[in-house]
Amino acid sequence: MKYIMKQNNGNMKKFNTRDRIFLNEAILAFLRESKKFEEESEMLGKKPIITYGYWKMMAKDVQDKLEEFSTQKANRQSKMYNEEINSI
């Protein structure tokens, strides 16, 4: 739990908007690269051990868990990133 939430004077603090933007950008960058890797692998006639579909499912799971530990304002801001994840 200590890795998920920032600690502030012994109290647990939820992720704010800036934190969520950073986390969402990291997840999107990872998904873009995993999709690119899978496409390149297919062009070479290979199949990755872990597919893009699996990574996308895991990213959605992480996003859902992050919502529990974020402020309401951060969650509203994050919705646009969730929509972008679904479009990748």
Average pLDDT, rounded, for the chain = 81
Q: Are 78 and 24 in contact (CB under 8 A)?
A: yes
Query: Sorting pLDDT into bands at 50, 70 and 90, what band is 79?
Result: confident
- Backbone dihedral angles phi then psi of residue 54, each to the nearest 5 degrees: -65, -45
Tell me which residue of 62, 3, 51, 74 sits closest to 27, measured CA to CA.
Answer: 62
Q: Are 13 and 67 in contact (CB under 8 A)?
A: no
- Its pTM stands at 0.69
Mean per-residue pLDDT for 15-37?
A: 89
Coil, strand, or helix at residue 54?
helix
